[in-house]
Amino acid sequence: MKRKVEWKFILIFLVIAFSIYFMLPPSEKIKLGLDLKGGMHLVLQVVTDDAVKMERDQEILRLKSLLEDEGIKVGNIYGKGIATIVVEGVPADRESDFDAVIKANFVSNWEYSGVVEGKAELTLKPKVISSIRENAVEEALETIRRRVDEFGIAEPVIQRQGIKGDQIVVELPGVDNPKRVRALIKNTALLELKLVKDGPFPTKEEALKKYGGKLPEDLQILPSKGKGYYVVERAAAVTGRDLKTARRCADKYNLPAVCFQLNAEGARKFEKVTSQNIGRQLAIVLDNVIESAPNIRSTIFDSGIIEGSFTSEEAHDLALILRTGSLPASIKIIEERTIGPSLGADSIRKGLKASILALILVMLFMIVYYNLAGVNATIALLMNMLIIFGALALFRAALTLPGIAGIVLTIGMSVDANVLIFERIREELAAGKSPLAAIDAGFSRAFTTILDANLTTIIAAIFLFSFGTGPIKGFAVTLIIGILASIFTAVFVSKAIFELIYFGKRKVEKISI
C-alpha cells in the first residue's frame, strides 16, 4: 500500500512541477484575449462575385491572344453578368477555326453552344464558379494573415465563419491605430495595368458623350487620382497576380512612391503590351482608381513605379499590401468593434476578483461542511486551478472574459465531483461499512456518475469550440481543460490524500467527513 501511495504522489508532484514550469512567468506565457487586452474585432465578407468577374476578364484576354495567334479577327469580345463571355462578329468563313480554338482551350471549364449568326457565348460551369468562390475566400484569408503578420500585430485571430463560409473574423489585440489597420486589411490593392483609349475628360459625362452616351462593352471609365476621367480597356494587360515584389522608393522628384517588379509570366505580358503600344498611355490602376497614366516610350520588361501623392507611411503600407498579394475580391466590413485597453484592464480586475471570491467561498463551504475531507477537496481544487493555468500556457490558449467565466464554473464543477464522492462515502458509512471500505466504495461507485456528467459537458464544450468564435472558443477551452483537471484532482488526487492519511494506519475507527 505504501509503495502504491508513493508513485501516486510522485505523479502528482510531476504534474504540479510541469504546471508551474509552463505557467511561469504568467505575463509571458498566458495570452490575453481581445476583450481583456483591448484591440479590434472585425467581421469581413468576401465579395466572391468579384473573383468570378476577374477570372472571366483574364479569360477574355487569353481568348483574344489565342484568336490573334490564329489570325481570327472578330468584332468585339466582352463580359456579360459575372460569368459569361460574349464574342460578336465571328467571320462566317472562320467559324470552324473559332470552334476549334474554343474546344481546345475552354470547354473543360466553360459551357459553349457554338456560333449562332456570328455570335458566341461562353459561360463558366457552376462547379467552376463554386471552386473560384471557395478559393477566393481561402486566398483572402491567407492574404489578410500575411498583411497582419507583416504589419507586426502580435497573436491575431483570423478565421472563417458564416453559413456560406464567405465571412472572415479578424481579432487584433493591442492595436493602437484602428484606422490604419482597417485600411491595411480592407484595401483590395488590386493592381492592374490597362491601356488608355481616351482622356483625360473633366467629367464622366463628357467621356460618355464622345461615345454617344453608351460605352462599348470592352471599355470602361475610371477616375484619376489626380483629376479627370480616362476611358481604358476593360481587360487588364497585367494584374497584381503577376507581381513578384514591391517596395517603397522615391520618384524623380524624390517624393514617396512604390516600385514593383513582375514575375516571369508578368514580365512576358508586360513586354508584349509595351512593345506593341509605344506612344500610348498605360494606366496604373489601383482598386479601380488610376494612380498615374504615363506614356509608353519604349519596351518595358519586368519593373515599374507607382507615382502619386503618397505620404511615406502610405507608400510603405501600399508596398506591404502589394507585396503580400492583392485580395482576390473586394471586402465588406459587416461588423466592427474597438475595445480600449482600459476596459480590458477593468475586466481583468473584476474577473480576478470574482474568481478569487468564488474560490474562497467554495473552500470555506467545503471545510465547514466536510471537516477534514473538505481540506482534502480544497487542496484538490487549488491543484485544479494550477493545472488549468499551466495548460493554458502550454497550449498558448488566449484567456478571455468568457474564459474567466469558464474557470469560475470549473471551480463549482470541481468540488461537485468531491461532493458526489463524499456523500457516497457518508452513505457507505451509514450502511455499516468500515471507514476504509467506505472510502474505497465511495470513490469507485461515484466515478461512473462523475465521468458521465463531465463527459456530456465536454461534448457540449467541443461543439462550442468547433462552431463558436473568439470569446466563445475561450470559454470552451477553459471549460474543457477545467473539467479534465477536475476529474484528475477529484478522483485521483483526493483519493491519494485519503490513502496517505488513513490507509497507513492499522486501525481506523472514524474519518473526518
pLDDT at 24: 81
Average pLDDT on 93-116 reads 92
Ordered structural domains, the chain, with CATH = 2-37+340-502 (1.20.1640.10), 42-48+129-337 (3.30.1360.200), 49-125 (3.30.70)
Residue with the larger pLDDT of the pair 11 and 307: 11
Closest CA to 259 of 217, 197, 322: 322
Where does the pLDDT of residue 320 fall: very low under 50, low under 70, confident under 90, or very high at 90 and above? confident
pLDDT at 358: 87
Where does the pLDDT of residue 71 fall: very low under 50, low under 70, confident under 90, or very high at 90 and above? very high
The whole-chain average pLDDT of the chain stands at: 85
pLDDT at 173: 78
The helix (H) or strand (E) run that includes residue 84 is strand 84-88
What's the distance, CA 147 to chain centroid?
12
pLDDT at 123: 95
Closest CA to 157 of 398, 327, 364: 398
Tell me the residue type at 501.
I
Residue 293 has pLDDT above 80, yes or no: yes
Where does the pLDDT of residue 52 fall: very low under 50, low under 70, confident under 90, or very high at 90 and above? very high
Residue 27 has pLDDT above 70, yes or no: no
Residue 171 has pLDDT above 90, yes or no: no
Tell me the residue type at 38.
G
pLDDT at 343: 66
Residue 307 has pLDDT above 80, yes or no: no
Would you call 330 helix, strand, or coil by DSSP?
coil
Q: Tell me the per-residue pLDDT of 328-383, one tens digit each, with 9 for 90 and over.
A: 778 888 888 877 766 667 777 888 888 889 889 989 999 999 988 999 999 999 99
Per-residue cell: 294: 504615363
Where does the pLDDT of residue 504 fall: very low under 50, low under 70, confident under 90, or very high at 90 and above? low
Would you call 238 helix, strand, or coil by DSSP?
strand
How many helices, marked H, and strands, marked E, lie in the chain? 16, 19
Residue 240 has pLDDT above 80, yes or no: no
Task: Give Cα separations from 443 to 64, 426, 439, 440 (angstroms).
Answer: 79, 11, 6, 6
Cα(313)–Cα(254) distance, integer angstroms = 15
Residue with cell 457565348: 121
Handedness of CA 462, 465, 471, 472 (dihedral sign): negative
CB burial readout 357-384, b (16+ within 10 A) else e: ebbeebbeebbeebeebbbbbbebbebb
pLDDT at 4: 65
Per-residue cell: 150: 507583416
pLDDT at 255: 86
Average pLDDT on 229-254 reads 85
Where does the pLDDT of residue 506 fall: very low under 50, low under 70, confident under 90, or very high at 90 and above? low
Helix 401-430 / helix 341-370 crossing angle, nearest 10 deg: 10
CB 280 within 8 A of CB 296: yes
Taking the alpha carbons at both ends of the chain, their separation in whole angstroms is 22
Ramachandran angles phi, psi of 304, nearest 5°: -165, 180
